[in-house]
Every structure is written in C-alpha cells, then in structure tokens.
Amino acid sequence: MLQNFFSSIIDWILVSFNYNIIPIMFIAGAFLTIMTSLGAFIAIFSKNMPSWGINFSLSFAAGIMLVASFTSLILPSIEISSTFFPTATGIFLGIILMLIIDKSIPHEHLIKGYEGPPELKNKFKLAWLLVFAMIVHNFPEGLAVGSALAFDLKDGLITAVAIGIQDFPEGTVVALPLSVLQKSRLKPVLIGILSGFAEFITVIIGALFFKKFNFLLPYGLSLAGGAMLYVTIKELIPEIYKSEKNELIITAGFFLGFYTMLYLDSM
C-alpha cells in the first residue's frame, strides 16, 4: 500500500509537469533541502541524542547510499554505455574527486575526529568542522539525484525520496551536537538549511549538465555512484563501527536502510 502511495505521488508529479526536467529537478532538490532542515529542526526540542541513536541514523544512511549507488547510478551507467570502460572510469573519478575533497576540506567526524590539512586543525571551531563534514557528505547525494534525473525522471524521483528519507536523521545527527557546542537552538537549524541548500544546488547542476551533455551521462552516473561508495565505505561505516558499541543496532539500521532503498526501487 505504501508502495502504491509513493508510486502514485511520483506519477502525479511527472504528469502534472509534463515530464519536464526543469520543474521536477527543483522539486527533487527542494525535497532534499526540506528533509535535511526538518531533521535539523529537532535540535530545538532535544537536548541530546544517545550514541546508539547517532549510530543507527548513520548506518541507516549507509544502507540507503550503498544500494542507491548501484541500482540508481552504476547499473544504469552500464545499461546506457553497454561497455565496462565508461562506468569503471566514472567510478574511479568519483572516488578520486571525493578523496581530494576529503583531504582538502577540513571536517570533523563525530567519533573519528578531525580530518583534513594538519595546518588547519586548530583554525576551525569544532562546530564549523561538523558543518563542513555534512556538506562534504551531501555533495555526492545531490549529484546522484541530479544525474539520476537526467537518466530517467521517475528513477531520479525515487532516488530523491530515498536520499531525502535518510537526510532527515542525518540532519538531526549533525544539528544536535552543534546545538550543544553553540549553546544555541536556532543556529543549528539555519546551518541544516544551508547544508540542505548545498545539496539542492548539486541536484540542479547534475541534472542540467548531464541533460545538456547527454553523451557524458554514463560517466556522470558512475561518478556519482563512486562518490557515494567512497562516502559509505570510507566515511560512514568506519565511523559507526569504530566505537565497537551497539553493533547489533548499527547492523539493523544498515539493513533497514538497505531494504528501504530496495523497496523504493521496486516501484
């Protein structure tokens, strides 16, 4: 029944806007921004989040991103190109791009700690390092939705729904420690909106660029897939398992996200 509900909403959007990518990409980008902002909004009412809640939210996001990287990005790339080389190249470029961003932009992990140029470690407050971390993680998500829309509007909207669902707890995970560090409830919400807007921008860029340069779409899809795989394997999974606590909850969260994305993909 839930599947029929999501499918009917997506079909209604496609028909209402006559399968025009311009308004549809704005709707997809706005949805991601709203979901991230709503997640951050919880910081106004909550004083703290238990460690298992943070780990569960991150593992849920990892499950969604792992499936989405294949079903919405890498496999469609293979389908379009019908050869291995463009997809393999795109994945490699996505990994290299995220590696450069990861090493160049200073950011703070909730568990693993600081990551970035050593000379900048003491020049940024922890709060802003967490903000950079959120934006770094949101970049491949927005690009994934944008390139998926360029490939197929319905697949792109399904990807947007899945990414939006995991953006909600992701926004909460970042906003809550920010609210404690900043001693403020409003600022984390504004920062959550800002990070969501950054995701909105990458949706627009990805959709317009790969719609215009359609011959590059196999590379764009697999690049976004490679970037999401990098974030999932290099960032999220080590982060949530490093503490060696709540492993059962973490694994449950991962597979819940895994099945959620598979369920949405079956529409």
3-state class of 215 per DSSP? Answer: helix
**Statement: residue 169 has pLDDT above 70:** yes
When the pLDDT of each residue in the chain is averaged and rounded to a whole number, the result is 81
pLDDT, mean of residues 15-19: 95
Candidate from 24-38, 134-148, 194-208, 233-247 with smallest mean pLDDT: 233-247
CA count, 13 A, side-chain hemisphere, 194: 16
Please indicate whether residue 122 or residue 179 has the higher confidence score (pLDDT): 179
pLDDT band at residue 15 under the 50/70/90 scheme: very high
Question: Are 92 and 105 contacting, i.e. CB atoms less than 8 angstroms apart?
Answer: no
Distance separating alpha carbons of residues 182 and 176, to the nearest angstrom: 10
pLDDT, mean of residues 107-123: 51
Question: Are 57 and 170 contacting, i.e. CB atoms less than 8 angstroms apart?
Answer: yes
**Statement: residue 54 has pLDDT above 80:** no
